[in-house]
């Protein structure tokens, strides 16, 4: 996508070879510095950007900042020399992908749109992928200022929100920070948590392993606050295995939160290759479950002046619904 002229950061020459100075425009006012850089330095790996941020090589108005720093209109951002990897031409986005995007829109208005994302499709390019949902959308609508409001794991299906205006993006991010965004998921646990309703308060810390893989774990000393509310919807049994269908309500929105919190209860999600039970996953795959059983089923929020309430839902994908029909309800 070619950004609209007023969304581009103005650049000026620097006396240091390869150093760039980016001026923050009004559209980027209040944006986190890491997201600002990711937006304007296309092709540079996320791990590289976070590395130079940790080292203090990125300066705002000549001062050191953290990755959580929020830039203001008029700020000057000094960016050290960064080399984007040489990649093959990704070519054109398949026409079938573009056709799917048009049909997957659950809701659209002048401020935002919500898609029903399938499992297996990343929300953005990177990690060996030429393009994801957001790149495909921008190709489909080259004149729109589209930005991801939040992310879903590649393996997770369901409601994905995209803003069409920077002001809307800031408002939605504020709702999420303040816990005023209702996010509901449906998930299948391996095992029985023993109660019909559970609140998991377990701080999470994110680590990046060699090779760039992200792993999240519970850490009560260094982790960030994370809370998930689980409500049991049904219990099943198959081949001596107990499975529990739950609704998971995200009170916070940390990376892999539902998956890690479910595993912390001793009931990992079915089909989870990272935090799950390998033997159980193997047996479930033989029974027809070929993916992580986690689906972003609904979103709710209030936005605008006068306030407008939104409530959107995405039906359980056919492959998950069919799998449930093969299970015997537990008595």
Structural domain range at position 217: 180-329
Q: Are residues 144 and 262 in the same domain?
A: no
Q: What CA–CA distance (Å, rounded) separates 282 from 241?
A: 12
Q: Are residues 157 and 229 in the same domain?
A: no
Q: Are residues 157 and 242 in the same domain?
A: no
In a structure prediction context, what are the per-residue pLDDT tens digits for the chain, which is 331 residues long? 323 333 334 443 333 457 889 988 776 778 888 888 877 776 677 778 888 888 889 999 999 998 889 898 889 999 988 765 544 444 566 666 667 788 899 999 999 999 999 998 888 775 555 578 888 888 888 878 889 999 999 999 999 999 998 888 889 999 998 989 999 999 999 999 999 999 999 999 988 665 567 799 999 999 999 999 999 999 999 988 999 999 999 999 999 999 999 999 999 999 999 999 999 999 999 999 999 999 999 999 998 888 889 999 999 999 999 999 999 998 6
277, 282, 290: which is closest to 322 by C-alpha?
290
Q: Are residues 321 and 207 in the same domain?
A: yes
Asked if the structure places residue 85 within a domain, the reply is no
Asked if the structure places residue 222 within a domain, the reply is yes
Catalytic-labelled residue, pool 25, 116, 153, 272: 153
Is 153 labeled as catalytic in the residue annotation? Answer: yes
In SS3 terms, the chain reads as CCCCHHHCCEEECCCCCCCEEEECCHHHCCCEHHHHHHHHCCCCCHHHHHHHHHCCCCEECCEECCCCCECCCCCEEEECCCCCCCCCCCCCCCHHHHHHHHHCEEEECCCEEEEEECCCCCCCCECCECCCHHHHHHHHCCCCCCEECCCCCCCCEEEEEEECCHHHHHHHHHHHHCCCCEEEEEEEEECCCCCCEEEEECCEEEEECCCCCEEEEECCCCCECCEEEEEEEEEEEECCEEEEEEEEEECCCCCCHHHHHHHHCCCCECCCCCCCCHHHHHHHHHCCCCCCCEEEEEEEEEECCCCEEEEEECCCCHHHHHHHHCCEECC
Asked if the structure places residue 175 within a domain, the reply is no
| pLDDT given at position 10 | 40
Domain count, the chain: 3
Q: Are residues 250 and 144 in the same domain?
A: no
Q: Are residues 216 and 299 in the same domain?
A: yes
Residues 183 and 176 sit within 8 Å (Cβ to Cβ) = no
Which domain CATH number covers 131? 3.30.2350.10
| pLDDT given at position 47 | 77
Which domain CATH number covers 71? 3.10.290.10
Q: Are residues 239 and 198 in the same domain?
A: yes
């Amino acid at each position: 996508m070619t950004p609209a002229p007023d969304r581009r950061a103005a650049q000026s020459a620097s006396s240091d070879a390869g150093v760039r100075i980016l001026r923050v425009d009004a559209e980027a006012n209040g944006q986190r510095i890491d997201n600002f850089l990711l937006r304007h330095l296309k092709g540079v790996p996320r791990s590289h950007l976070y590395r130079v941020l940790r080292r203090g090589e990125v300066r705002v108005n000549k001062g050191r900042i953290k990755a959580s720093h929020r830039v203001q209109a008029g700020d000057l951002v000094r960016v050290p020399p960064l080399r984007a990897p040489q990649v093959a031409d990704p070519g054109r986005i398949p026409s079938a992908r573009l056709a799917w995007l048009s049909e997957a829109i659950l809701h659209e208005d002048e401020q935002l749109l919500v898609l029903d994302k399938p499992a297996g499709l990343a929300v953005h390019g990177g990690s060996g992928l030429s393009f994801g949902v957001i790149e495909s959308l921008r190709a489909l609508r080259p004149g729109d200022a589209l930005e991801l409001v939040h992310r879903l794991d590649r393996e997770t299906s369901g409601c994905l929100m995209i803003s069409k205006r920077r002001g809307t993006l800031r408002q939605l991010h504020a709702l999420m920070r303040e816990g005023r965004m209702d996010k509901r998921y449906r998930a299948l646990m391996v095992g029985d948590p023993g109660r019909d309703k559970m609140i998991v308060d377990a701080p999470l810390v994110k680590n990046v392993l060699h090779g760039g893989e992200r792993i999240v774990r519970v850490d009560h000393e260094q982790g960030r606050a994370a809370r998930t509310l689980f409500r049991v919807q049904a219990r099943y049994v198959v081949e001596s295995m107990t499975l529990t269908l739950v609704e998971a309500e995200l009170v916070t929105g940390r990376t892999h939160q539902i998956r890690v919190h479910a595993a912390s209860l001793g009931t990992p999600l079915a089909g989870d290759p990272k935090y799950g039970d390998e033997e159980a996953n193997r047996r479930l795959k033989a029974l027809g479950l070929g993916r992580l059983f986690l689906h972003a089923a609904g979103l709710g929020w209030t936005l605008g002046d006068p306030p407008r309430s939104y409530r959107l839902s995405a039906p359980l994908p056919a492959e998950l619904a069919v799998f449930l029909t093969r299970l015997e309800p537990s008595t």
